[in-house]
Amino acid sequence: MVQCDTYKTLKGTLRTMRKNIDEKEPDKIIQPAIPDSIPSLVEFVSAQAFETGMDDEKIQALGLAIQEVAQNIIEFACADGKGEITITCEFVDSGAFLIHVWDTGVPFNMLLAGTFPEVEAITKHEKIPSTKMLKKAVKNIEYIRGKDKNILILTIPPVLGRS
């Protein structure tokens, strides 16, 4: 009976360890939605991308995309200067690199801005948000309006030779 109890305990411990590894929180940065936060946000994502084995050219393009995203959030979603920008980075089992960018600003889908004349007509700004760098660096981009937050999900496919 002692061996059976030891086996059950060991099995339970291994299950808990596996669960803890599987449920590891992604790396995260939270910054106020102000222009001074942009370099920290870009540096965070660039460092995370470097750890995945991404090449320097792709990291630079991704950094410019994050800079553009942050500028859009600050200018259009959090124009009052009171919001926050949170970014998480995660390397998933499929080999993809996921970046979640969310802010606590007003509803704002930068992916649609400039696409439809109706969107331009209701904007309070003379300037239209740019997504040129974002769309050049990342091909799979999704927008979700969550409860009191805008969420952008950027998916970068696996680096060749890595799985």
Distance, CA of 123 to CA of 86 (rounded, Å): 24
| Domains annotated on the chain, with CATH | 30-156 (3.30.565.10)
Average pLDDT of the residues in 76-99: 92
For residues 76-91, average pLDDT: 93
Evaluate if residue 107 carries a pLDDT over 80: yes
What number is the average pLDDT over the span 36-44?
Answer: 97
Query: pLDDT tier at 91 (50, 70, 90 boundaries)?
Result: confident
Mean pLDDT of 101-129: 71
pLDDT of 57 > 80? The answer is yes
Q: Which helix (H) or strand (E) holds 31?
A: strand 27-32
Backbone angles phi, psi at 6, to 5 degrees: -65, -45
Instruction: Indicate the DSSP class of residue 97.
Output: E
CA 80 vs CA 31, 70, 75, 83: distances in Å: 15, 14, 9, 8
Question: Token pair for residue 55?
Answer: 């090449």
Q: Is the pLDDT of residue 39 over 80?
A: yes
11 Cβ contact list (under 8 Å, min separation 6): none
Q: What is the pTM of this model?
A: 0.77
